Structure formats: structure tokens, C-alpha cells
Amino acid sequence: MNGIAGRPSSDGSSGSDNIRRLNFAVVMIKQWEIQSDPAKLREVRTDLENFTRSIGMKDEASNAVGLVLNEALANIIRHGYDGATDKPIRVTAEQVEKELKIVIRDWAKPFDPALIKPRYEDELKPGGLGLICIRKLMDGFKYERLPDGMLLTLTKKLV
């Protein structure tokens, strides 16, 4: 979709993107409303990578962001929604000056990421790699437990 100057987004529509001015900072926003279907992962991942490239992120960083989104969504699908494929997930990506911010909202059962043990304790025990990717590849992340789900905020500098 084309950007619309001076009009905030967050209208909940699928795959929307906008441009707005806030205190002289140009902000690009794109939002996806998807179901918890693994078949959607590739499309959203690729779309986000294209978005990050369009705002000036280099290929390596864009690939990292795509992987992190994939892992975050896969965790929600597998653990939050127990593999159900028809539950809602909202992803919002926005550029604020020199930083990319991604917010992932789900309505799944909440969890405490601190309780997940690092996989490094046993090299041949799968699991926990998604969180390792988030920690290693993003500049910041924050999980918030909401009354009806979880909110994950990821940030990465545009380089």
C-alpha cells in the first residue's frame, strides 16, 4: 500500500503501512494481522525483511530480523497456542528515526521466558533457540504479560 502522510496507522488492517510525522521524526509503519498458521510464516518473514530493506537496513540485519520474527511467531504457535492454526497474532513494525521497532501481540496463554533454560546446557537438546536468536540478534527485547495474552517488543538499530 502507499504511504499516507500525516495520518496515523494502527487501524488494525492487514498488511497496512503508513507514513506520519511526529516531532519531525518520519515514521514508517507496517502491520500484519495473521492467524497462527505455520504456512503464513514465510510470507510474513519475507514481507518484514522487504520492509526493513526499504527503510535502509542492510541485508545481514534484515535477515536477522526475519529470523527473529520467524522464531518469535513459531514460539507463539507451538507453545502459546499449542499448535492451533486459527488464532490471532498481530505484528507491527515501525521505523522511529534510526531504529526499527517490532511489536508482536498474541492472545495466547502467557509464559515466563525466564523459566526457559538456555539450550547450551545440553548441546543436543533442542529448544530455546528462538530466545537465543532474539537475545543475540536484536538490540533490545521486552516481554510483557497482559491479562489476555503476551506482548513482545523487539528493537534494532538501523545499520
Spatial separation of the C-alpha atoms in residues 52 and 131, rounded to whole Å: 21
H or E segment to which residue 65 belongs? helix 59-75
Spatial separation of the C-alpha atoms in residues 16 and 29, rounded to whole Å: 8
Chosen residue from 86, 115, 120, 121 binding another protein by CB under 8 A:
120
Site for another protein in 62-91 (CB under 8 A): 63, 67, 70-71, 74, 77-78, 83, 85
Does 52 help bind another protein (rule: CB under 8 A)? no
Which triple of cell numbers denotes residue 105? 501481540
Chosen residue from 16, 113, 119, 155 binding another protein by CB under 8 A:
119
Does 130 help bind another protein (rule: CB under 8 A)? yes
Binding mask 14-43 for another protein (x = CB under 8 A): ------------------------xx-xx-
Which triple of cell numbers denotes residue 151? 506482548
Does 50 help bind another protein (rule: CB under 8 A)? no
Spatial separation of the C-alpha atoms in residues 74 and 45, rounded to whole Å: 11
Spatial separation of the C-alpha atoms in residues 108 and 119, rounded to whole Å: 24
Does 116 help bind another protein (rule: CB under 8 A)? no
Quote the DSSP letter at residue 34. E
> Which stretches of the chain bind another protein, using CB under 8 A?
38-39, 41-42, 45, 63, 67, 70-71, 74, 77-78, 83, 85, 119-120, 123-127, 129-130, 132-133, 136-137
